[in-house]
Amino acid sequence: MSEVRSRGRPKYSGDDKSAVIFRKLAEANLDRSDASPLWVQLKNRIQDAIISGLLPPQSQIPPEQTLCEIFEASKPVIRAAFGALAAEGHIVKMPRKGMFVAGGKQETDFITANLGVFGDLTARGHTVTVKTFEFVRVAPSESEQRIFKIPENGSVIRIGRVYFSDGKPLTLTHISLPAHKVPGMEKLDIEDRSIFQTLKEHYGLTVKNAERWFTAELPPEDVVLEMGIEPNHPLIAIESIAYDHDGNALEYYQAYYDSSVARIHVKIGS
């Protein structure tokens, strides 16, 4: 009598610790009804496991075919996910040896469009809320064209927001993103959501580094009205360009920040 094959997810037969972790990560199927592409879902799942330490440095990644079987995904999905992880430095590919989790801890969540409002203040027990007053796709300005190297007839996504900490207006930001990297973003629900969390979940985009410039200024009239503050109340004006792992500008923003509500913390070195 021939052996009857059981249906369902093929099993990865490896017995090492990494194999157990990957089987665990695959217990929840990739959601084919989700707006996020499958490769982005997979990339985010593996990236979160690496950043959290669940997949420690030097852990070996199963072969491509095995990954296809574990996650019930096609080779293009696997290649896109792990190609992005390699480009961001989360994994390394060694000829004739395979893929491994890179050594060292990745820092990708520090640089956000709002100085870590969601991650930092929420972690400290503060309530963070957002008022979005602009969210459109438009033709780029000269500075946006230069910063993003916008293709001909291209456009940008512009987002204007005021962030509140425990009900107090903390910062007003004007954010610009290259629209060709975030197709359809203007149709997403971003209210009370981190912009960079949205970029990660829907487009697999994260930031490697950024440049920032700070000056002390009195707020212009539109900022006074949107934040509901006194016109003679000094704020910190911030200009920032954030770059992806290929060295291309991913986000440009200008902000007004009230340091009397929450101080800016900058850590230098390890």
- Express as a percent the part of the chain with pLDDT over 90: 39
Q: pLDDT, tens digit, for every residue of 160-219?
A: 999 998 899 999 999 999 999 999 999 999 887 888 888 888 998 888 888 989 999 999
Identify the CATH assignment for 17-101 out of 1.10.10.10, 3.40.50.620, 3.40.1180.10, 3.40.50.360: 1.10.10.10
> Looking at residue 252, what is its pLDDT?
95
Residue 172 Cα distances to 114, 115, 122, 168, 246, angstroms: 9, 11, 18, 12, 28
> Looking at residue 117, what is its pLDDT?
56
Q: pLDDT, tens digit, for every residue of 36-89?
A: 889 988 998 998 888 888 988 888 899 999 999 999 999 999 999 998 888 777
> Looking at residue 209, what is its pLDDT?
86
Residue 115 Cα distances to 1, 99, 153, angstroms: 66, 34, 32
Residues 142-161 as b/e (b if ≥16 CB within 10 A, e otherwise) read: eebeebbebeeeebbbbbbb
Full-model pTM = 0.67
Same fold, 17-101 and 117-257: no
**DSSP assignment letter at 9:** S
Q: Where are the domains of the chain?
A: 17-101, 117-257
CATH topology of domain 117-257: Chorismate lyase (3.40.1410)
CA-to-CA distance for 121 and 167, rounded, in angstroms? 13
Residue with tokens 């509901």: 228
pLDDT exceeds cutoff 80 at 115: no
